[in-house]
Homo-oligomer: A and B are copies of this chain.
Amino acid sequence: MLKLTKKADYGLMALKYLAEHPEMPALSAKDIADAYGIPAQLLAKILQQLTKSGLLRSHAGMNGGYALAREAREVSAFEVILAIDGPFFITSCTKGKTGCELTPSCTIREPLARVNDTIAGVLKSISIQDLAEHEHPPGHAREASALVELTL
């Protein structure tokens, strides 16, 4: 449970890849898919979603492809996941238009909503660039540490 979809995974990988190759004006879906061994067609769809969400810029035609619309530093993992999987909520019914159909039940929700916010905060604090700079052989932990507060 509590896992993000492969699409989101792929999306993050793709953005990371783009961040690692800033010299390229554009990379095609196939390039990225091949680099990671993921189905090209699927990646294509994901990249399309990211484009529609404004995280990527696409360029059709030969030597076309995708490029980051913003600096890698300015794109958070949260945005990516949001663009691909839509708004996420820990709980099944969290304030959907219908609220919780279960009787006066959902007293659970309120505390969990805080947890939800916390997670969102963590994901917002992580940028694509952070993912790309994975070159820290376990030992000297990088200090981009983020402090997150949770108030029940």
Per assembly, the copies of the chain total 2
User: Contacts A9-B92, A123-B115, A134-B107; is A102 near B38 (CB within 8 Å)?
Assistant: yes
Residues of B within 8 A of A112 (CB): 12, 77
Interface size class of A (residues with CB under 8 A): 35 or more
A47 to chain B, nearest CB (A): 16
Contact with B along A21-34 (1 / 0, CB 8 A): 00000000000000
Enumerate chain A interface residues (CB-CB to B < 8 A). 1-6, 8-9, 12-13, 16, 35-38, 77, 81, 85-86, 88-92, 102-103, 105, 107-108, 110-112, 115, 118-119, 122-123, 125-126, 130-131, 134, 141-152
